[in-house]
Amino acid sequence: RRDFVANVSHELRTPVAIILAQSETLLDGALDDEEMAQKFLSSMHRQAERVTSLINDLLDLARIEAGQRELEREDVSIAAAARRAADGLASKAKKRDLRLEIDVSSEQTAFVNASALEQVLVNLLENAIKYTNEGTAIVLKAQPDGKKRLRLEVWDEGPGIPTELQNRVFERFYRVDKGRSRDLGGTGLGLAIVKHLVGQMGGRVGVDAREPNGAIFWFTV
Ligand code: ADP
């Protein structure tokens, strides 16, 4: 808990310090320089967005970890959940010239909480969009895992995760490339949320290397 509080404070301190410094500069006269004002305001806006994402992720995580209520489950169509997740991310994918392919048959269903499944898919697809190389394809696949489970996989063509870090990326605030994650608006909490939600539905998560490059993030339902 002590580590966690230290991490959260550290994550909040940087954007708040930037907002403070830039607003002071503006108040001290930079407001009259239109170009400078524009630059500082858009930077402050970006930093405020960062704080907002962090707070939202922290609240999600706290709610999930408190386990206040059991996730209600029902039979959910994987293809439909994937479609909803992908539709919400279409403009982000387009900006990086990425194709989102859903390779799931319409009969595949899972006994899950529909919004938790969607959040897991959004977090994994959003990461793939952030970290993969422009102009490539991101593919979601579903295949049987043993008799009763399905394994959902997100294939990307990004830098992948070094073998020795494959467990660590699911820890809160763990990032492979800190600078890149922050530049892309990452909070370092997305995969921790994925792990919790999947665990609450009785599944497992992991990541494998893709050859010649890329990651395959997977979970079972
Ligand atoms: P973040 O908000 O930083 O993306 P996550 O918990 O979602 O936080 O991911 C943790 C770290 O794992 C990221 O900072 C990144 O270094 C790495 N990562 C996650 N997904 C991918 C991916 N698809 N390809 C490469 N690296 C990834």
pLDDT digits (tens, 9 = 90+) for 157-194: 999 999 999 999 999 999 998 888 888 888 999 999 99
**pLDDT at 209 (0 to 100):** 96
Residues in the chain: 221
By alpha-carbon position, which residue is closest to atom 7 of ligand 1? 190
**pLDDT at 69 (0 to 100):** 63
Q: Is the pTM of this model over 0.85?
A: yes
Of the chain, the percentage scoring pLDDT greater than 90 comes to: 86
Mean pLDDT (the chain, rounded): 94
Residue 147, pLDDT > 90, answer: no
**pLDDT at 3 (0 to 100):** 86
Are the beta carbons of 196 and 207 closer than 8 angstroms? no
pLDDT in tens, 27-45: 999 999 999 999 999 999 9
Of the chain, the percentage scoring pLDDT greater than 70 comes to: 99
Residues 18, 16, 182, 217, Cα dihedral to 10°: -170
Is any atom of ligand 1 closer than 6 Å to the C-beta of 161? yes
Residue 142, pLDDT > 90, answer: yes
**pLDDT at 169 (0 to 100):** 97
Distance, CA 181 to ligand 1 centroid (Å)? Answer: 7
What does each C-alpha distance from 6 to 55, 110, 193 come to in angstroms?
A: 15, 38, 19
Distance, CA 180 to ligand 1 centroid (Å)? Answer: 9
Distance, CA 38 to ligand 1 centroid (Å)? Answer: 31
By alpha-carbon position, which residue is closest to atom 3 of ligand 1? 188
H or E segment and range at residue 142: strand 137-145
H or E segment and range at residue 176: none
Neighbours of 122 (CB within 10 A): 18
Give me the mean pLDDT over the 63-72 stretch: 80
pLDDT in tens, 83-94: 999 999 999 999
**pLDDT at 66 (0 to 100):** 85
